């Protein structure tokens, strides 16, 4: 899922996403949209799909992760989290029920429960208390959600989030407790918070066997291109990551031949396309030299062309994974990814 934090994937139009990249689901951030322009305004204007004119599906997070990572003062209590807006310092409160209401006002196709995403590292004791709070919040959110959809039936799904920091037994306990909620899908959160990469995969391994097999599993906030198949190998169906879009804007491009840091002098007179193996608009039309020029000149077109390519690369990888599964070749595919990742680890094109 491309990340569209403020109801936009930075640098791209919805037509680019839908017609060119064939993205069918994007992610929006509840924290940002709640603060500005506000869920009530978005609700009055017909919901997030109409507001941003997006024909596809939308997943929104609960806002919890951003509260913990962006807001200044915050206070976690049993009933929810009180925080100060990073925009104007105003005080707000998220509760398990209020974040369901906010996301229902958005009309999100997939909503997330409020959770606590602990920093890394934390003590086992803190992780345990925090995980139990996340489970309690998920139960409260589901109680409220089921009441709301009973009164006004919708098809908006609500996913609970497995937490437990980097402790496998806490992950397992959390997954087992959340299983009982009989949700439409399950998320594995608390990843990419600064832990060594192998630990993220280990935490997915610790959670996944205890989640229902026939429901989608969503690993939140992962990963690098060569890691996507690793998550899929561990039973993950959905992922989101700011890396392709954020790195694009910083001139860091993912190609089928490895990464390209476009500012490097070696691309100054390079007439080749960014990625000869890519069919995106950027690669079909422009040279590395032109892209490097745009980047060096600080032109906004660079962000747009680079984001388009990086997202295409991620979506192409997911397409390859899907095809290899359908063709019964996924183990072979995974091996080839592992071999090439080992080969060009640390090496730029
Ligand atoms: Zn491309």
- DSSP, residue by residue, 256-286: TTEEEETTSGGGTT--SBS-TT--SHHHHH-
* SS3 label, residue 165: coil
Residue 49 in tokens = 């799909």
Active site residue 240: yes
**134: closest CA among 158, 159, 116?**
116
| 184 a catalytic residue | no
pTM over 0.85: yes
**CB burial of residue 70 (10 Å; 0-12, 13-18, 19+):** middle
**CB-CB contact of 163 with 219 (8 Å):** no
DSSP reduced 3-state for 81: strand
- Ligand 1 centre and the CA of 276: distance in Å? 8
Tell me the CA–centroid distance for residue 6 and ligand 1, in Å.
24
- Given 109, 115, 240, 316, the catalytic residue: 240
Q: Which pLDDT score is estimated for 345? A: 64
The tens place of each residue's pLDDT in the chain, 349 residues long, gives: 999 999 999 999 999 999 999 999 999 999 999 999 999 999 999 999 999 999 999 999 999 888 888 876 789 999 999 999 989 999 999 999 999 999 999 999 999 999 999 999 999 999 999 999 999 999 999 999 999 999 888 889 999 999 999 999 999 999 999 999 999 999 999 999 999 999 999 999 999 999 999 999 999 999 999 999 999 999 999 999 999 999 999 999 999 999 999 999 999 999 999 999 999 999 999 999 999 999 999 999 999 999 999 999 999 999 999 999 999 999 999 999 999 988 766 554 4
Tokens of 287: 């040279």
> Shortest CA distance to 217 belongs to which of 168, 175, 155?
175
254 CA to middle of ligand 1, Å? 9
Distance (Å) from CA 274 to ligand 1 centroid:
7
- The pLDDT score that the predictor gives to residue 203 is 97
pLDDT at 326: 98
CA distances from 250 to 75, 118, 243 (A): 34, 28, 10
Give pLDDT, residue 349: 42
Q: Which of 52, 4, 10, 7 is nearest to 306 (CA)?
A: 10
The reported pLDDT for the residue numbered 346 is: 55
Q: Which of 61, 115, 275, 316 is catalytic?
A: 61
Q: How far is the CA of 277 from the centre of ligand 1 (A)?
A: 8
**Structure tokens of 290?**
């032109």
Distance CA 122, CA 19 (A): 44
């Amino acid at each position: 899922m491309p990340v569209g934090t403020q109801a936009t994937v930075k640098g791209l139009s919805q037509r680019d996403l839908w017609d060119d990249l064939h993205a069918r689901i994007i992610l929006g951030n509840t924290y940002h949209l709640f603060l500005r322009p506000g869920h009530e305004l978005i609700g009055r204007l017909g919901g997030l799909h109409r507001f941003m004119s997006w024909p596809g599906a939308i997943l929104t997070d609960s806002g919890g992760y951003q509260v913990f990572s962006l807001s200044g003062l915050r206070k976690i209590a049993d009933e929810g989290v009180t925080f100060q807006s990073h925009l104007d310092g105003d005080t707000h409160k998220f509760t398990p029920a209020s974040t369901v209401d906010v996301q229902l006002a958005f009309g999100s196709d997939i909503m997330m429960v409020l959770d606590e995403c602990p920093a890394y590292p934390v003590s086992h004791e803190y992780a345990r208390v925090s995980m139990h709070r996340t489970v309690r919040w998920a139960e409260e959110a589901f109680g409220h959600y089921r009441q709301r959809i009973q009164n006004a039936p919708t098809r908006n799904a609500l996913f609970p989030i497995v937490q437990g920091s980097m402790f496998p037994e806490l992950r397992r306990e959390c997954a087992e407790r959340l299983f009982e909620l009989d949700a439409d899908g399950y998320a594995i959160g608390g990843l990419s918070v600064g832990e060594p990469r192998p630990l993220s995969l280990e935490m997915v391994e610790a959670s996944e066997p205890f989640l229902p097999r026939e429901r989608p599993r969503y690993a939140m906030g992962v990963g690098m291109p060569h890691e996507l198949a690793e998550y899929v190998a561990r039973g993950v169906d959905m992922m989101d990551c700011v890396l392709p879009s954020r790195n694009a804007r910083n001139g860091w491009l993912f190609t089928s031949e490895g990464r390209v840091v476009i500012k490097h002098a070696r691309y100054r007179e390079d007439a080749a396309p960014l990625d000869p193996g890519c069919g995106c608009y950027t690669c079909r039309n422009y040279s590395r030299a032109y892209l490097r020029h745009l980047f060096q000149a600080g032109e906004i077109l660079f962000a747009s062309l680079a984001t388009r390519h990086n997202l295409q690369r991620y979506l192409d990888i997911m397409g390859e994974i899907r095809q290899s599964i359908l063709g019964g070749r996924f183990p072979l595919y995974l091996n080839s990814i592992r071999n090439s990742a080992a080969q060009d680890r640390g090496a730029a094109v």
